[in-house]
Structure 1
């Protein structure tokens, strides 16, 4: 809770008071140590965030100049080198986004809840899901049950949580595979479910896949996988008083991720 500024209560028994006094001194020393640690940690996050944003400016210039070069009459070798610059610039953009996502997911500030139109939110997710799948020739389907007109939440956080899971599903689904996005609610919770026809979760992944930087079997992961998608999604879902459940889909045979958040 990051709160060690409380007063201990002493009893009328000397021996117990001696123990309480010793624990109180430990508490004070721990408080001083942790406050320094928290301050350093916040400064580190601020520096990383500032650096990530600062890198965007020179990167934009590099990409812009490289795109202009592509409009010239380049030799085959020059075009190959220039395409490599553009490709690696895209990789740097990915790393920057990853740094920003890590920082945001670790920030301790409260989420800002508002009334979210359920159908507008769901339709937005479906459109983005269809676009992601189109690029990889994956069939996208949705199954939206009758849901309440609105639900409460931080729209940015909920969207990022769902899209992180959906992006993961697209990454692990082979070409001409299938993804199913389902939504329903009960009296208390909204349920967002993403299923795919990929290889599914291993036994270890079912318990570890939401851990920060967990990468599982590296021989089956792409080099762009950093074990952050499910971790970030879980962080945002937890802030909404919800949970993430991992399983394997009986319907499509691959992974199944259910995000449950308080309405």
Structure 2
């Protein structure tokens, strides 16, 4: 018989196996011993009682043999089905494609189930890869378009600044100031869009392992450059010892500077306090950035990280300086580093925490 069986064939095979084992055991442990045994002390008076006793004992003995054989074979059958089900689960759900385990499968229904699941997984993987490729191509096109638009924008901004240096009567000077301001906003928008698109490039050349001491010193220098006379910056290192972090320094530093810039722009104070804290918990590196006199709205806490999302509860000035790219960029950077970003309102201020594994 073929080693691959359907469930019905396996049941029939078990049935005939039980019958065969029962007949063999009946012969070896009942008929043969009985034929070789001589019964004595049987008289006419006790013959009826002996017959009843012998028949009852025989049926009990035979029933026990049959029960033992059925129990053993059913247990073996269920154990085999269980083992093959586990193999299908490991191969199809957990992605374990051990060929030795595949060779152990004998139940046709489970083999077909495994094949169907693997086909479904393969289709899903192709769809995901296709969507990922399309998203990368789209971000590349967006980045290229942003680069192309920056050139004429620079010309417009340069001409507007040049004309502003000349004496121009009437409202034309105000128009030039508006053009210059709008050009600056567009330039900032394009820069943020280009930085966001870079997070989709699979470029491993920019990844490196760096010590925490070096990183903290670099972070402090860069943050102080952009916050000079704009905020009170306080650093706190709670790491028990120096560690090494593998990261894309360019993207990670931009994400931190983005958070600090947003903290200054959205603070209600003209000179806010910004606290930056480093800590290590369960092999996870945390960098927390808290700024005073600021808070996140409920809408932003629910939908932060969505590209181009602008908070409807924000003020008009905040909307003009927020393009819905900054937090999406920070969240994307945390994701490619295998971590996450969390926003919360804490101690009368806004708290942003980035967590990445070490």
Alignment TM-score, normalising by the size of structure 2: 0.60
Structure 2 counterpart of 1:156, from 250, 259, 269: 250
Contact between 2:285 and 2:355, CA under 8 Å: does it hold in 1? yes
Deviations 1:80-139 (A, max 9, x none): 12112211111211221122122123345547432435455434433443454457x443
RMSD of aligned residue pairs (Cα, Å)? 3.4
Question: Could you report, residue by residue, the CA deviation over 1:35-90 in whole angstroms, capped at 9, with x for unpaired residues?
Answer: 54444333222221211111122222222222222222222422212112211111
Q: Larger RCO: Structure 1 or Structure 2 (Cα < 8 Å, ≥ 6 residues apart)?
A: 1
Q: Equivalent of 1:180, from 275, 295, 307?
A: 275
1:64 aligns with 2:158: yes
Instruction: Measure, in 2, the Cα distance between the counterparts of 1:76 and 1:142.
Output: 49
Alignment of structure 1 residues 160-239 onto 2, 5 Å: 160-174=254-268, 175-185=270-280, 188-203=283-298, 205-220=300-315, 221-239=318-336
Q: Which structure has the larger Rg over C-alpha atoms?
A: 2
Contact 1:157 1:236 survives alignment (8 Å): yes
Asked if structure 1 preserves the Cα contact closer than 8 Å seen for 2:279 and 2:286, the reply is yes
- Aligned partner of 1:47 among 130, 133, 141: 141
Q: Which is richer in helix? A: 2
Q: Residue 342 of structure 2 aligns with which residue? A: 245
In 2, Cα distance between equivalents of 1:150 and 1:34: 33
CA offsets 1:155-185 (integer angstroms, 9 cap, x no match) = 1122122112212211221223322222345
In structure 1, distance between residues paired with 2:129 and 2:212:
41
Q: Deviations over 1:164-207 (max 9, x none)?
A: 22122112212233222223456844432211113323455445
CA distance in 1, matches of 2:257, 2:337: 16
Q: Which runs of structure 2 are paired with 1:75-114 in the superposition (5 Å)?
A: 75-110=169-204, 112-114=206-208
Number of aligned pairs? 256
| Match among 233, 250, 258 for residue 140 of structure 1 | 233
Q: 1:67 to 1:258 in 2, by over 3 A?
A: same
Asked whether the 8 Å contact 2:344–2:352 carries over to 1, the reply is yes
Alpha carbons of 1:48 and 1:254: their partners in 2 closer, same or farther (altered >3 Å)? same
Which 5+ residue runs of structure 2 have no aligned equivalent?
A: 1-94
**TM-score of the superposition, structure 1-length normalised?**
0.77
What is the Cα deviation at residue 17 of structure 1?
3.6
- In the alignment, is the contact (CA less than 8 A) between 2:285 and 2:356 conserved in 1? yes
